[in-house]
Chain A
Amino acid sequence: MSGPSESFVLFELAGNTCGVRSQAVQSVEMVEHVTAVPNALPFVEGVTFTRGQVIPSVNLRIRFGFPRIPVDLRARMLVVRLKDRTAGMLVDSAREFISIRADAIEPPGETVAGFSVRCVEGIATLANRVVLILNLEEVIEGV
C-alpha cells in the first residue's frame, strides 16, 4: 500500500501514545527551569526560556485531567509552534519520530478515553498500537 504520509513526533501521556505533526515541533527538550506564573490557568506550569524567548509551558497531563506526576528524567518538553505562537508541552516522555500514512488515520469516535474530543484530530492504528493525533490549536488555544 502506498499514499501520502506525514511525519509525527510521538509521546507518551498517562499510558496513551499521542502524536503531533513534526512540522509543528521546534524542539524536544529536557524539562528544566519552569517558573510558576501567579494566577495563570491550572494547566499552565509557568514560563521557561527556549532560544532566548520566554514561552509558556503547558502540562498536558493537567490539560487533559490526568493526575500530576513528578518530573523525572524521561519527561520532555515539546516546543511547538502554531502560527505566531510558541509553547512548551510537558509530556511523560517523547522518543519517537515516525511516518504515518494519511489513510491510516481515522477521525476520532464519540469519546476518546480521558481526552477532550476536540483536541483529538484523528486516530492512527499502527501495527500493534493506537496513536492519538492531537489538534495542537485546540490543545493550546481551545481552553
Chain B
Amino acid sequence: MDSSRVLQMICAPGFSTREEADLGAGRGVGMTVVKTTISGLGGTLAMDTRPGKGTRLTIRLPLTLAIMQALIIYIDDQPFVVPRSAIHEVLRVETDAVTMPENNEVIPYRAGVLPIVYLHRLFRMNGKSKNSFHVFVAGSDFSPVGIAVDRIAGQREIVVRSVEDSLVRVPGIAGATELGDGRPVLILDVAAIVEAVKS
C-alpha cells in the first residue's frame, strides 16, 4: 500500500491501532481532526514513510493563512497593528483615572484594578500627553494587563509578513505588514509585551 493510501486510512474517522481506548487516546479521532483542520484551511497533508526508519508528515498551508484581523494603533504618529485575537477589550481612559499604588500605575477595572503599561515607554518613543488615551486589555483572564497607546484608529485585515533578520528582531515586535501605501507597519507581539511587563 503506498503512503498516500496509508495516510488516508490513518485519517479516517474511527481508525485506531490501539486495542483499547483510554481517556486521552485510542478512539481514532486525533488524525481525523488534523486532516479536517488542514483541509478547512485550504492546506494539504502528505506523508512519507520508510519502514524501520521513520515517518515524515508534511503540512502545507496557503499563505493566505497569514491574514488576520488587526487593530491599528498609534504611538506618537507611528502606526502599529495588534492582532485582534490578542485583545480582550478596548478602554478609553481619562488620565485622571490612573493611580499609582506601590509604583505601579493602575486603573479601576471591573471589580478590581488593571495594571497599565505605556507602550511608548517600552519602545522608548515620545508619547503624546493628552487628557485621555486608549488601553487595550491583553494577557490572561486572571491577570489581565492594560497596554496604553496614544490612540486606536480602526480595525482591518492584514497580511502578516515575517521579520527575520536579527538586526530588527526586537522584543515586542512579531512581524510586519502594510496598509496599502507600501510602508511597512510593525505587528506587536502582545504575548511578549505582557511577559515583559510581568517580569
Give A50-93 interface residues, CB cut-off 8 Å to B.
52-56, 58, 85-87
A38 lies within 8 A of B161 (CB): no
Instruction: Report B119 CB to chain A, min CB distance, Å.
Output: 9
| Partner among A35, A38, A48, A56 whose Cβ is within 8 Å of the Cβ of B167 | A56
| Partner among A39, A54, A140 whose Cβ is within 8 Å of the Cβ of B170 | A39
* Residue A33 lies at the interface, judged by CB distance under 8 Å to chain B: yes
A38 lies within 8 A of B170 (CB): yes
Chain B at the A interface: mostly helix, strand, loop or mixed? Answer: loop
A46 lies within 8 A of B123 (CB): no
Q: Give the one of B125, B172, B186 with max A CB within 10 A.
A: B186
Instruction: Report B24 CB to chain A, min CB distance, Å.
Output: 40
Instruction: Report A94 CB to chain B, min CB distance, Å.
Output: 20
Provide the residues of chain A in CB contact with B45, threshold 8 Å.
Answer: none
* Residue B52 lies at the interface, judged by CB distance under 8 Å to chain A: no
Provide the residues of chain B in CB contact with A49, threshold 8 Å.
Answer: 178, 182, 184
- Give the complex CA separation of A40 and B171 in angstroms: 9
Provide the residues of chain A in CB contact with B58, threshold 8 Å.
Answer: none
* Residue A37 lies at the interface, judged by CB distance under 8 Å to chain B: yes
Give B129-171 interface residues, CB cut-off 8 Å to A.
161-165, 167-168, 170-171
Chain A at the B interface: mostly helix, strand, loop or mixed? Answer: strand
Provide the residues of chain A in CB contact with B181, threshold 8 Å.
Answer: 33
Instruction: Report A138 CB to chain B, min CB distance, Å.
Output: 14
* Residue B10 lies at the interface, judged by CB distance under 8 Å to chain A: no
A37 lies within 8 A of B165 (CB): no
Q: Which residue of A lies closest to B79 (CB)?
A: A35
* Residue A126 lies at the interface, judged by CB distance under 8 Å to chain B: no
| Partner among B161, B162, B171, B184 whose Cβ is within 8 Å of the Cβ of A39 | B171
User: Interface of B with A (CB < 8 Å)?
Assistant: 78, 122-125, 161-165, 167-168, 170-173, 175-176, 178, 181-186
User: Interface of A with B (CB < 8 Å)?
Assistant: 32-33, 35-41, 44, 46-49, 52-56, 58, 85-87, 140
Known: A37-B168, A37-B186. 17 other contacts (CB 8 A): A33-B181, A35-B184, A35-B185, A38-B170, A39-B171, A44-B167, A44-B168, A46-B168, A47-B176, A48-B184, A49-B178, A49-B184, A52-B161, A54-B168, A54-B176, A56-B168, A85-B165
